[in-house]
């Protein structure tokens, strides 16, 4: 089956998979979605013995139908190799009856590596397929992890440049150091005086700016995105949910056809949307449990059917990658539950942009029945880290802890005994100060970098290479700008 992609705001705008990857965002500001979610071409039982790479090919070939077998395998082999510190790529830890899908064994110790290891290869292959002569400028906003993972993936990749905006004082010290020490002749990092939503909105506005696109083209450039608005980011994320189910089957933790729940700490909604796509492909996922921190705009949406960012405070938490009030990928789900009605979706998104909120219909609410939602306060997040550690010795990061709390709360309230897979999205080393303080408050006064050795001792795990390499690295990027100066900063960097 040949799968093509259309914009959530204009169904007449249809492109191939490679064109959608190249564009990143549709010209009307919509997101690209497949005309239909494909089904897996093999049985779940056949997935059991597959490696991560084989699973990736089995899933991605159904979505990226204009890639040849050779092209897709080439991308997969370059992505999922020795840069991951485990052969399984995404191992599963059984901790007190909850299955933690560890997505942080890549080059930058966060789940973004799972997709951003392959996106540069998908993008450069797409450029060749479409005879693109321009240099591709990856323009990205990050709440902490996407930026470093994207820079690591695109550093010195021929025919590309990458510019990353992150919120100054809105990421952990380790996250910031990972970004500002990134090497690469084609890499630029800019701290903005604002929050992630400001950075993300500024990037989207630049994508929609026709005059800027014209000026870029005149200089031999064109924009693409490494954010999860790019379908080339989303499709590789579907893989690890398919892989997790197959591994649980292989380990005889579940029976064939047995339903599981997936709990995902959620900010921009891409990671949980990928689990939803895996369910649509045929994986027996019963509930998709959306876990929020104190920026609980998604929790409130699932409770009420109203998405409202205007009447709430933006909270800086110890799980900064989830400090988001505009969850871009939710638009893909809204489009689907609106019956793929592009006009209805465009109207709702206009309401969000102009009035800061929108309300879905009762009929659309029925389309959310696969989802549950919960949230964790800062105190509950810290308690989840401490309690799991004291009981089992397993140390998790703050984002995973949000999901662990929501998972435990859901099980207690519903008495549901289905097995739960928690998406473990970052290494505890990435948020060492918050993690160690949760375990014992005496660590609150310690220097963040000194605590790395203490976490190593407490967790019994090795210091990841991604952390070791920044300890003595030089700061290479110090550029800062105001939110309303983002476009001019890009123009200056590209000499437009």
For 303-318, give the DSSP string: HHSEEE-TTS-----S
Q: Which residue has the tokens 């705001």?
A: 9
* Residue 226 clears pLDDT 90, i.e. is over it: no
**pLDDT value at residue 37:** 96
Q: Which pairing describes strands 98-102 and 92-95: parallel, antiparallel, or unpaired?
A: antiparallel
Q: Helix, strand, coil: what percent of the chain each, to 5?
A: 45, 15, 35
Mean pLDDT for all residues in the chain: 95
Nearest to 430 by CA among 110, 12, 25: 110
Is the model's pLDDT at 243 over the cut of 90?
yes
Axis-axis angle for helices 231-250, 119-129 (nearest 10): 130
Question: How confident is the model at residue 433, as a pLDDT?
Answer: 95
Interatomic CA distance for residues 33 and 6, integer angstroms: 6
Report the C-alpha gap between 323 and 317 in whole angstroms: 7
Candidate from 262-266, 364-368, 412-416, 470-474 with smallest mean pLDDT: 470-474
Kindly indicate the confidence band of residue 233, based on its pLDDT and cuts at 50, 70 and 90.
very high
Distance from C-alpha of 145 to C-alpha of 50, rounded to nearest angstrom: 29
By CB atoms closer than 10 A (0-12, 13-18, 19+), residue 86 is exposed
d(CA 364, CA 370) in angstroms, rounded, equals 12
Residue 97: count other Cβ atoms within 10 Å of its Cβ: 9
Residue of 276, 269, 288 lying closest to 228 (CA atoms): 269
The answer to whether the beta carbons of residues 193 and 481 sit under 8 Å apart is: yes
CA atoms within 13 A on the CB side of 277: 28
The answer to pTM > 0.85 is yes
pLDDT digits 0-9 by tens, 301-349:
999 999 999 988 999 999 998 999 989 999 999 999 999 999 999 999 9
Any idea how long the chain is? 496
Does residue 194 surpass a pLDDT of 80? yes
Per-residue pLDDT tens over the stretch 480-495:
999 999 999 999 999 9
CA distance 427 to 416: 29
DSSP per-residue string spanning 345-409: HHHHHHHHHHHSEEE--HHHHHTTTTEEEEE--HHHHHHHHHHHHHHH-----HHHHHHHHHHHH
Predicted local confidence at residue 1, as pLDDT: 79
Say how far apart CA 186 and CA 151 lie, in whole Å: 9
Residue 308 pLDDT = 96
DSSP 110: B
CA torsion, ordered 210, 212, 216, 218, to nearest 10 deg: 70
Can you give the pLDDT at residue 139? 94
> How far is it, in rounded angstroms, from Cα 448 to Cα 308?
35
**Token code pair at residue 50:** 């597959």
> How far from each other are the two terminal CA atoms of the chain, in whole angstroms?
42
Residue 392 CB coordination number (10 Å)? 13
Burial class (CB in 10 A: 0-12, 13-18, 19+), 242: buried
Three-state DSSP class for residue 178: helix
For 452-481, the DSSP string reads HHHHHHHHT-PPPHHHHTTTTPPP---EEE
From the candidates 23, 112, 296, 309, give the one annotated as an active-site residue: 112
Q: pLDDT-based confidence at 272, cuts 50/70/90?
A: very high
286: enclosing H helix or E strand: strand 285-292
DSSP-derived 3-state class of residue 49: coil
Residue 173 has a pLDDT of: 87
Mean pLDDT throughout 118-138?
A: 94
What is the model's pLDDT at position 178?
Answer: 93
Q: Summarize the confidence of residues 370-387 as an average pLDDT.
A: 98
**For position 228, what pLDDT does the model report?**
81
- Rounded to a whole number of angstroms, the CA Rg of the chain reads 21
Check if 112 is active-site.
yes
In the predicted model, is pLDDT for residue 144 greater than 80? Answer: no
């Amino acid at each position: 089956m040949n799968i093509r992609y259309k914009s959530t705001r204009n169904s007449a705008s249809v492109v191939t998979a490679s064109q959608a990857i190249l564009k990143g965002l549709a010209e009307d500001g919509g997101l690209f979605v497949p005309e239909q979610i494909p089904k897996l071409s093999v049985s779940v039982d056949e997935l059991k013995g597959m490696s991560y790479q084989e699973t990736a090919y089995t899933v991605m070939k159904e979505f990226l139908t204009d890639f040849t077998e050779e092209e897709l395998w080439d991308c997969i082999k370059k992505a999922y190799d020795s840069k991951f510190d485990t052969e399984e790529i995404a191992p599963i830890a059984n901790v007190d009856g909850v299955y933690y899908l560890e997505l942080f064994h890549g080059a930058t110790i966060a789940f973004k590596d799972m997709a951003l290891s392959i996106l540069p290869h998908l993008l450069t292959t797409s450029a060749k397929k479409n005879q693109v002569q321009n240099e591709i400028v990856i323009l990205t906003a990050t709440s902490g992890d996407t930026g470093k993972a994207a820079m690591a993936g695109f550093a010195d990749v021929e025919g590309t440049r990458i510019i990353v905006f992150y919120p100054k004082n809105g990421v952990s010290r380790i996250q910031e150091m990972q970004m500002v020490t990134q090497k690469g002749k084609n890499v630029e990092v800019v701290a903005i005086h604002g929050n992630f939503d400001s950075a993300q909105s500024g990037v989207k506005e630049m994508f929609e700016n026709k005059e800027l696109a014209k000026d870029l083209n005149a200089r031999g450039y064109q924009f693409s995105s490494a954010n999860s608005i790019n379908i080339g980011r989303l499709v590789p994320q579907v893989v690890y949910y398919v892989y997790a189910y197959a591994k649980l089957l292989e380990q005889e933790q579940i029976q064939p056809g047995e339903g599981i729940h997936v709990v995902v700490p959620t900010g921009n909604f891409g990671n949980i949307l990928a689990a939803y796509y895996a369910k649509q492909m045929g994986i027996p996922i019963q509930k998709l449990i959306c876990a929020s921190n104190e920026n609980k705009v998604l929790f409130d949406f699932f409770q009420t059917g109203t998405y409202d960012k205007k009447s709430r405070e933006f909270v800086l938490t110890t799980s900064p990658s989830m400090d988001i009030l505009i969850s871009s990928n939710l638009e893909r789900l809204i489009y689907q539950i609106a019956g793929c009605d592009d006009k209805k979706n465009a109207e709702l998104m206009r309401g969000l942009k102009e009035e800061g909120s929108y309300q879905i219909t009762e009929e659309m609410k029925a389309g959310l029945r696969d989802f549950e939602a919960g949230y964790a306060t800062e105190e509950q997040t810290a308690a989840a880290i401490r309690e799991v550690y004291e009981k089992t010795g397993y140390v998790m990061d703050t984002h995973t802890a949000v999901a662990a709390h929501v998972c435990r709360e859901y099980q207690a309230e519903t008495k549901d005994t289905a097995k739960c897979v928690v998406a473990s999205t970052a290494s505890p080393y990435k948020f060492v100060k918050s993690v160690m303080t949760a375990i014992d408050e005496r660590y609150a006064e310690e220097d963040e970098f000194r605590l790395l050795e203490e976490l190593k001792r407490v967790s019994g795990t090795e210091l990841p290479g991604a952390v070791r390499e920044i300890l003595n690295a030089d700061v290479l990027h110090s550029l800062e700008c105001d939110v309303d100066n983002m476009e001019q900063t890009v123009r200056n960097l590209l000499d437009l």
